């Protein structure tokens, strides 16, 4: 999409930027004795910072839920091309909604499917690429690609798509506090980035070389529609991708359901109505989950396009949570004690990140 040159530049910038901000977050956490991402926001901006972070998290998780539904729908479409649009989303509602009723401890084990499917997909793509000699989809005979994109609009669109892979900063403070030896946090971050970046590079290079300008919004769609591959191997990979949203849906929306439950329980009329019988409380909690799931699936149906959702998620939320917010918190908390050089670096990164976030968000809506 962004070509070999700009795609590489944006990828390297996002990788080193988020690695740097992951370490800044922990310096803020160590100094102000917090334990969560929200505590850092409160230290830098007061209660408004904590409330802002909570609000952004809810919107981000909702957007991820929409992306999960679209991913499931597209996977089903690849496996069963004859299924209609309405049938697919009714199936998504029937399968995904029960996930919101499961306890988080059970959902955590199911989320391992996502990790396994990611590794398997990389191996399947490389295997498929070397199993064919002719285009499309061969690593022996590359597809048509671009060094610099002919459509420059693709460059800002790539900002969010690439940055979406680095949206995990919200959990880093919790991981740091749970580590047996927190002094190894920096080495852990560097090792994590080496592994994940290597996987991203293999996936990006292999996928673009195999399908070039004909790369679809999801690589599994290319695998399903390209002749000459081992059908059983590709079907296995696509099924793993289909199972990933089912496994992660409940985990992604759990904080939203908990927030809704707390808000409802805090309303005097609701509290007065539900205190007489326990079934009333269960009924309200169940209704919240059904309506939330229905709304998520409705948004996925009217706002289709996995690439659009991921581009928006990366530009609007990942840049904010993984780059802009950590940089600004660090600047506010340590601006009086850092060197002039470091201050300039922080400001330059803030400006570049803000420009990329704005440009990427606009591009995702214009896609």
What is the per-residue DSSP string for 273-317? HHSS-HHHHHHHHHHHHHHHHHHHHHHHHHS--HHHHHHHIIIII
Predicted local distance difference test score (pLDDT) of residue 271: 60
Encoding tokens for residue 207? 């996928």
140 pLDDT higher than 70:
yes
Of 100-114, 263-277, 323-337, which gets the smallest average pLDDT? Answer: 263-277
What SS3 class is residue 36? coil
111 pLDDT higher than 80:
no
Show the DSSP H helices in the chain as ranges. Answer: 3-32, 37-45, 47-79, 85-96, 104-110, 112-131, 154-163, 172-178, 185-211, 219-225, 231-265, 268-274, 278-302, 306-312, 319, 325-334, 340-366
Residue 327 — pLDDT band, cuts 50, 70, 90?
A: very high
In degrees and rounded to multiples of 5, residue 359 shows phi and psi of -65, -40
Q: Across residues 228-237, what is the average pLDDT?
A: 81
Predicted local distance difference test score (pLDDT) of residue 108: 65
Neighbour-count burial of 327, counting CB atoms closer than 10 A to its CB (0-12 exposed, 13-18 middle, 19+ buried):
buried
Residue 349: CB atoms within 10 A of its CB come to 20
- Contact indicator for 3, 159 with CB cutoff of 8 Å: no
303 pLDDT higher than 90:
no
Predicted local distance difference test score (pLDDT) of residue 11: 93
Residue 8 — pLDDT band, cuts 50, 70, 90?
A: very high
Of 24-38, 103-117, 132-146, which gets the smallest average pLDDT? Answer: 103-117
Predicted local distance difference test score (pLDDT) of residue 367: 65
Residue 44 — pLDDT band, cuts 50, 70, 90?
A: confident
18 pLDDT higher than 90:
yes
Among the listed residues 253, 190, 310, the one whose alpha carbon sits nearest the alpha carbon of residue 61: 253
37 pLDDT higher than 80:
no
Half-sphere exposure at residue 196, Cβ-oriented, CA atoms within 13 angstroms: 21
Predicted local distance difference test score (pLDDT) of residue 349: 95
Q: Across residues 6-10, what is the average pLDDT?
A: 91
- As a whole number, the mean pLDDT across the chain is 83
* Residues sharing a CB contact under 8 Å with residue 59, sequence separation 6 or more, in sequence order: 317
Residue 100 — pLDDT band, cuts 50, 70, 90?
A: confident
pLDDT, tens digit, for every residue of 286-302? 888 899 999 999 988 88
Among the listed residues 70, 76, 159, 221, the one whose alpha carbon sits nearest the alpha carbon of residue 364: 159
Residue 256: CB atoms within 10 A of its CB come to 20
- Contact indicator for 125, 207 with CB cutoff of 8 Å: yes
Among the listed residues 71, 33, 37, 70, the one whose alpha carbon sits nearest the alpha carbon of residue 56: 37
* Residues sharing a CB contact under 8 Å with residue 294, sequence separation 6 or more, in sequence order: 93, 97
Predicted local distance difference test score (pLDDT) of residue 151: 81
- Contact indicator for 322, 163 with CB cutoff of 8 Å: yes
Predicted local distance difference test score (pLDDT) of residue 90: 92
The model's pTM is 0.81
Cα-based distances in Å from 154 to 107, 151, 161: 37, 6, 10
* Residues sharing a CB contact under 8 Å with residue 349, sequence separation 6 or more, in sequence order: 17, 20, 323, 327
Judged by phi (left if over 0) then psi (alpha if -120 to 50, else beta), residue 126 lies in alpha
- Domains, the chain, with CATH or none: 3-366 (1.20.1740.10)
Predicted local distance difference test score (pLDDT) of residue 278: 64
- Contact indicator for 364, 311 with CB cutoff of 8 Å: yes
219 pLDDT higher than 90:
no
Cα-based distances in Å from 201 to 127, 289, 291, 346: 16, 38, 39, 27
């Amino acid at each position: 999409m962004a070509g070999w040159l700009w795609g590489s530049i944006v990828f390297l910038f996002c990788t080193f930027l988020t690695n740097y901000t992951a370490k800044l977050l922990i310096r803020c956490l160590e100094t102000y004795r917090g334990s969560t991402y929200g505590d850092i926001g409160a230290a830098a901006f007061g209660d408004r910072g904590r409330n802002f972070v909570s609000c952004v998290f809810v919107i981000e998780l909702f957007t991820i839920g929409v992306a999960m539904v679209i991913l499931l729908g597209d996977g089903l479409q690849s496996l069963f091309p004859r299924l209609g649009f309405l049938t697919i989303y009714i199936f998504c509602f029937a399968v995904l909604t029960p996930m919101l009723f499961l306890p988080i401890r059970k959902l955590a084990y199911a989320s391992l499917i996502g990790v396994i499917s990611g590794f398997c997909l990389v191996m399947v793509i490389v295997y498929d690429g070397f199993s064919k000699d002719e285009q499309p989809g061969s690593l022996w005979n590359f597809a048509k690609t671009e060094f610099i994109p002919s459509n420059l609009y693709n460059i800002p669109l790539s900002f969010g798509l690439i940055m979406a892979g680095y949206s995990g900063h919200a959990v880093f403070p919790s991981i740091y506090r749970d580590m047996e030896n927190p002094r190894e946090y920096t080495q852990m971050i560097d090792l994590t980035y080496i592994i994940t970046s290597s996987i991203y590079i293999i996936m990006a290079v292999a996928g673009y070389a195999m399908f070039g300008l004909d790369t679809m919004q999801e690589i599994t769609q290319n695998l399903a529609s390209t002749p000459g591959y081992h059908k059983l191997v590709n079907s296995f990979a696509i099924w793993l991708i289909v199972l990933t949203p089912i496994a992660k849906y409940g985990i992604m929306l759990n904080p939203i359901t908990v927030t809704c439950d707390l808000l409802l329980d805090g309303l005097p009329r609701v509290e007065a109505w539900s205190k007489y019988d326990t079934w009333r409380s269960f009924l309200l909690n169940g209704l919240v989950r059904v309506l939330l799931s229905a709304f998520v699936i409705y948004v996925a149906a009217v706002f289709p396009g996995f690439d659009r959702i991921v581009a928006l998620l990366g530009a609007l939320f990942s840049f904010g949570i993984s780059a802009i917010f950590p940089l600004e918190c660090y600047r506010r908390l340590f601006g009086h004690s850092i060197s002039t050089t470091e201050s300039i670096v922080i400001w330059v990164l803030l400006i570049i990140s803000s420009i990329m976030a704005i440009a990427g968000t606009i591009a995702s809506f214009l896609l």
